[in-house]
Amino acid sequence: MSAAERRRGGTIDGTRERTIRHRDWHRWTRGAIATAGAGALCACAGPQSTLDPAGPAAAQVAQTWWLMLGAAAAIWALVLALLLYALLRGQNTRALARPQRLIVGGGLVLPALALAALLVYGTVTSGRVTGLGAEVDAVVEVEARRWQWRFRYLGTDGSLRATSVDELALPRGQMVEFHVSSVDVIHSFWIPRLGGKIDAIPGRVNRLRLRADRAGPMRGQCAEFCGLEHAHMDFAVRVLEPDDWSAWLEARGVAAPAAAEVAAGTGLDGAVGADAAPGTAP
């Protein structure tokens, strides 16, 4: 084989090797992007995902989050485009004729417009997040204590219908008003798939309205660091049909205390205090 043929063969082999490496690199890149995308999409769902809403309040929160993400991505892309333009202008370019315009426009006008738009949007849509103006179908008293949650389900006349500990049952499609308080330290009541959070403060009752429109795996969590067992201060959330929810309450109903017990002060409140966690106030 002549020297020319050997060189030509080496060139062909080198080109084929580079082509294979290029193809493998593109295949690896596509696989990595697909894997990262699948991981990101999987992270958008779950029993405590704010991006997997099951009610109108959480849906509005998720929509606002996506809107802010899109706006931030657009601003980031604009900044990169300006940076790329500045880098590619070359050395033989004149300085900006009026640099004040860039400073005022990019440093004052653009941030002011973006923040004003978010403020207007948040104000207009706040009704869906807070539930103000909606008719309340049920009331649940929430009592936080280290390290558990206690729920008291009230009737339309304010009487106690049922109680539960570390398990919350909600009627699907009905607005529930939560009266949230604490007996020891500050906690925070939060069901990510249903809406925002609200603090549980000793000596104060805060109100929060939520509606669950979809059933599925759901969990609530204390969102305020409250001590060593804070990470374990969660509770299960069950969304039931209204009839099933009524049956669930009846199965956990609380009998009315006898008159003698009420007079002696050993009625329902005494019973609740009797099984309080050791070292905590009833």
CATH of domain 138-256+267-274: 2.60.40.420
Q: Is 112 exposed, middle or buried (0-12, 13-18, 19+ CB in 10 A)?
A: exposed
Tens digit of each residue's pLDDT, the chain (282 residues)? 555 555 555 555 556 666 666 666 667 766 656 555 545 555 567 788 888 899 999 999 999 899 889 988 998 998 899 888 877 776 655 666 677 777 888 888 988 988 898 888 888 888 778 887 788 999 999 999 999 999 999 998 889 999 999 999 999 999 999 999 999 999 999 999 999 899 999 999 999 999 999 988 899 999 999 999 998 999 999 999 999 999 999 998 775 444 334 444 443 343 333 333 434 443
Please report the pLDDT score of residue 258 as a whole number. Answer: 40
Rounded CA-CA distance 258/128 in Å is 43
Instruction: Concatenate the DSSP letters of all residues of 31-96 into one string.
Output: HHHHHHHHHHHHTT-STT-TTS--SHHHHHHHHHHHHHHHHHHHHHHHHHHHHHHHHHS-SS-PPP
Q: What pLDDT is recorded for position 270?
A: 37
Given this model, what pLDDT does residue 165 score?
A: 95
3-state secondary structure of 187: strand
Q: What is the pLDDT at residue 234?
A: 94
- Token readout for 155 is 């009737």
Residues β-bridged to residue 44:
none
pTM: 0.69
pLDDT of residue 220: 95
